[in-house]
Amino acid sequence: MRQIILDTNFLLIPSQFSVDIFSEIRRICNFSYRIYVVDKTIDELERLGMGKSRDARGAKLGLELMKAKKVGVIKTDRKGYVDDLIVSIVKRGDVVATQDIGLKRRVKKKGARIITMRQKKRLVLI
């Protein structure tokens, strides 16, 4: 079973573009998987959710979706950026779901695959 690790910006997609990321992941992944986030992703979403901006609404929706879809949480004992933590955790064969160009490059170097959005309406597995 493969791990799919969601980046913080990926959890904002449902609010920003009205794309159901979970049904899209199911559509493009023809292998068994489990979806996870890094514990610091939850912290980022909670901080974003404190305001009144569009991103705040998106962060709250992202947190709700994580609970509804029973997304697993990878505990980390290190401090730092979520992207750095994801890169340190990811292994060959894992999948990282992100829109971040820098993170995509770093993950590819580790031999992991990437899920990203195309044309603001669908997800693709690279």
Q: How confident is the model at residue 101 (pLDDT cuts 50, 70, 90)?
A: very high
Instruction: Give yes or no for a contact between 5 and 89, defined as CB atoms under 8 angstroms apart.
Output: yes
Give the CATH number, domain containing residue 9: 3.40.50.1010
Q: What is the residue range of 79's domain?
A: 2-125
Query: What is the tally of structural domains in the chain?
Result: 1
Question: Does position 24 have pLDDT exceeding 90, yes or no?
Answer: yes
Instruction: Give yes or no for a contact between 41 and 71, defined as CB atoms under 8 angstroms apart.
Output: no
pLDDT tens digit sequence for 86-96:
999 999 989 99
Question: Does position 11 have pLDDT exceeding 90, yes or no?
Answer: yes
- What's the pLDDT at 103? 94
- What's the pLDDT at 95? 96
Which of 4-8, 81-85, 103-107 has the weakest average pLDDT? 81-85
pLDDT tens digit sequence for 29-87:
999 999 999 999 999 999 988 878 878 999 999 999 999 999 999 998 888 889 999 99
- Residue 100 pairs in a beta bridge with none
Q: For tokens 């979403």, what's the residue?
A: 45
Q: Which helix (H) or strand (E) holds 13?
A: helix 13-17
- What's the pLDDT at 54? 79
Phi, psi of 89 (to 5 degrees): -90, -40
